[in-house]
């Protein structure tokens, strides 16, 4: 399947999980989807077969609330049966509302923001120590940039010249209480990261080709980690969800659910 | 009697073991001097990570390293490690179950003149109440060495708290009873039990001797394993002696005393009295002065037991 269409099919899985469970963070799931599709279908060397080896690429979902998107991708990549998605957030399920390494394919537990980049720094350092060729990818949210611990990790990543580390900022401009600029100004992400010594690439973040090009460019950079500022649309793919702050973790009702699936089908169909 | 700081022993063990195991990594937060890690960092620069004054990142990076097969040993003052980086210990170490050993140096009131910012008087309560974290407070160089060697053998998270100062030996070279997660009975007795941890064991042992002279038979237990605590040793003491006195370099709330009392109350109710730091910033001074002031040294223990019996 064309990967651009795949991103819309996976969005349907996300909507389905959230509709069933009556919980989830739909807006950020939809904004981050092309990043995950590029990493898991094109870029990262990580499969159910090599996941327990020493040599695969590593991924940390630092914006852990977008776990539904990650579960949808991992299931589709064969890390666990797709049927398991139906147990999301049900009583006793291991498929809880933030990433947990009880789920095959997930290495680190996240949920509290501001941890993932430091984990990525540690993973990338281990790769350098052992002279491994694996790469490390971390996905963060733009609201998360208010966490001070992120900037401790940004400092360390540049200090240790971790060119095997690529971070993403899902720059969708919204967080739970409003725009990032209303809540805590996150303008000029590119300048902030550059000032800390990172290689910075800015892309339209729901454009799969643009993301893929950026990840390729990051691999060629030496002695610096790369951040890809992915300018995304929160709720991307469903017109009435897009750019709506209320849809940070709103659950679709029956009508909205049907309308969402229909629109995602239509938008995906253009890539057939 | 030999006096060596427990951090020196950890440094020595890690220098030796890191030469044999490239996966051992030591991390610190601009604390290599206070952790006594100078020799290690010179010997194994490629297995040493300086994180700068950033305790949150310190613990998170250690967890990331561990997720990729490293055995991370993190050194930072216990005051910062147990509070500033508490969430990192909870999420990245305990919850994610990474092979990270957190070594809280200069614990308790080691920095007795520096104020509450530098005191870790509630780290036992914080760390032990976190699911998935083991907590150990070894007393002397021999036990510390045994503990670190044991922890090198497993992949589970742990928090180890040690003091800053050189401390007297409790055990004798070549005769160091040690089983992981089992308390050590230093002296048997039938009237009263003293249960101590960390560098309070030295005073408890001396108190046991002093009580003998007074005709009081005191059992002295070294509960270096705070979590998992040795319930069996507590229940036995609760059944066989009339009183348990706990001694810890920690506030009385949520530490050794609380845990011993809980085990005793559930299994074999007996009077449990705790000696420890107050629910306020500890008075300024050298450790020994502070212990004496709060009645936590050998003399204080003897006095308290004499009052209670």
pLDDT digits (tens, 9 = 90+) for A18-69: 999 999 999 999 999 999 999 999 999 999 999 999 899 999 999 999 999 9
What does each C-alpha distance from B221 to B128, B202, B288 come to in angstroms? 19, 11, 21
- Taking an 8 Å cut-off on Cβ atoms, the answer to whether B52 and A149 are in contact is no
CA distance to partner chain A, nearest, from residue B147 (Å): 26
Q: Do A109 and B52 touch (CB under 8 A)?
A: no
> Taking CB atoms and an 8 Å cutoff, what residues of chain B touch A126?
25, 64-65, 67-70
Give A101 to chain B, closest Cα distance, Å. 7
Question: How confident is the model at residue A180, as a pLDDT?
Answer: 95
% of residues, chain A, pLDDT over 70? 100
**pLDDT above 80 (res A94):** yes
Residues of chain B falling short of pLDDT 50:
none
What pLDDT score was predicted for residue A11? 98
- Return the pLDDT at B1: 56
CA distance A245 to B239: 62
Q: How far is B55 from chain A (nearest CA, A)?
A: 9
Rounded to an integer, what distance in angstroms lies between the CA atom of residue B255 and that of residue B124?
6
Whole-angstrom distance, CA of residue B136 vs CA of residue A126: 27
pTM, two decimal places: 0.97
Contacts with B46 from chain A: Cβ below 8 Å: 129
- Per-residue model confidence as pLDDT tens digits over A158-215: 999 999 999 999 999 999 999 999 999 999 999 999 999 999 999 999 999 999 999 9
Residues B89, B130: Cα–Cα separation, whole Å: 9
Chain A hits for B25, CB-CB cut-off 8 Å, are 126, 129
Cβ A115–B65 below 8 Å, yes or no? no
Distance from CA of B32 to the nearest CA of A (A): 17
Instruction: Kindly state the tokens that stand for B124.
Output: 């036992």
B87–A122 C-beta distance less than 8 A? no
Residues of B in contact with A127 (CB under 8 A): 68
Q: Residue A156: which of B25, B46, B57 has the nearest Cβ?
A: B57
Residues in A touching B88 (Cβ below 8 Å): 115, 118, 149
pLDDT at A272: 85
């Amino acid at each position: 399947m064309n990967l651009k269409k795949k991103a819309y099919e996976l969005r349907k899985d996300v909507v389905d999980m959230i509709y069933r469970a009556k919980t989830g963070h739909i807006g950020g799931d939809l904004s981050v989807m092309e990043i995950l599709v590029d990493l898991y279908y094109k870029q990262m060397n990580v499969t159910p077969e090599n996941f327990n080896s020493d040599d695969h690429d590593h991924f940390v979902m630092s914006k852990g609330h977008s776990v539904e998107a990650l579960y949808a991708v991992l299931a589709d990549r064969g890390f666990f049966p797709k049927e398991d998605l139906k147990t999301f957030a049900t009583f006793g399920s291991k498929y809880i509302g933030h990433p947990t390494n009880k789920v095959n394919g997930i290495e680190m537990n996240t949920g509290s923001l501001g941890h993932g980049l430091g984990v990525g720094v540690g993973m990338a350092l281990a790769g350098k120590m052992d002279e491994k060729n694996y790469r490390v990818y971390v996905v963060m949210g733009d609201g998360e940039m208010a966490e001070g611990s992120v900037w401790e990790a940004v400092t360390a990543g540049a200090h240790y010249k971790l060119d095997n580390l690529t971070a993403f900022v899902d720059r969708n401009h919204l967080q739970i209480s409003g725009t990032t600029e209303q809540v805590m100004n996150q303008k000029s992400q590119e300048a902030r990261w550059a000032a800390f010594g990172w290689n910075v690439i800015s892309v339209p973040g729901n454009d799969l080709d643009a993301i893929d090009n950026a990840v390729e460019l990051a691999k060629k950079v030496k002695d610096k980690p790369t951040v890809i500022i992915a300018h995304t649309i929160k709720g991307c793919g469903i017109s009435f969800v897009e750019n709506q702050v209320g849809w940070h973790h709103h659950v679709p009702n029956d009508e909205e659910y049907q309308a969402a699936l229909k629109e995602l089908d239509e938008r995906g169909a253009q890539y057939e | 009697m030999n006096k060596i700081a427990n951090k020196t022993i950890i440094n020595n063990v890690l220098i030796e073991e890191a030469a044999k195991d490239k996966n051992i990594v030591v991390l610190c937060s601009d604390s290599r001097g206070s952790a006594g890690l100078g020799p290690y960092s010179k010997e194994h620069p490629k297995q040493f990570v300086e994180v700068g004054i950033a305790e949150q990142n310190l613990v998170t990076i250690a967890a990331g390293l561990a997720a990729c097969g490293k055995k991370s040993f993190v050194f930072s003052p216990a005051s910062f490690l147990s509070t500033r980086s508490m969430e990192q210990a909870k999420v990245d170490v305990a919850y994610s179950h990474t092979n990270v050993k957190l070594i809280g140096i200069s614990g308790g009131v080691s920095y007795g003149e520096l104020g509450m910012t530098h005191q870790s008087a509630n780290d036992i309560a914080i760390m032990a109440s976190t699911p998935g974290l083991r907590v150990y407070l070894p007393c002397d160089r021999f036990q510390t060495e045994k503990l670190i060697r044991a922890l090198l053998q497993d992949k589970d998270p742990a928090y180890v708290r040690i003091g800053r100062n050189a401390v007297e030996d409790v055990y004798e070279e070549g005769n160091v009873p040690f089983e992981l997660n089992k308390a050590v009975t230093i002296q048997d007795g039938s009237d009263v039990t003293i249960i101590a941890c960390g560098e309070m064991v030295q005073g408890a042992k001396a108190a046991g001797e002093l009580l003998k002279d007074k005709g009081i038979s005191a059992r002295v237990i070294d509960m270096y394993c705070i979590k998992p605590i040795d319930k069996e040793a507590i229940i036995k003491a609760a059944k066989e002696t009339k009183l348990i006195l706990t001694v810890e370099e920690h506030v009385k709330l949520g530490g050794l005393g609380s845990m011993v009392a809980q085990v005793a109350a559930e299994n074999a109710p007996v009077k449990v009295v705790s000696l420890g730091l107050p629910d306020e910033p500890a008075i300024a001074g050298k450790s020994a002065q502070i212990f004496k002031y709060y009645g936590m040294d050998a003399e204080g223990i003897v006095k308290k037991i004499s009052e209670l019996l």
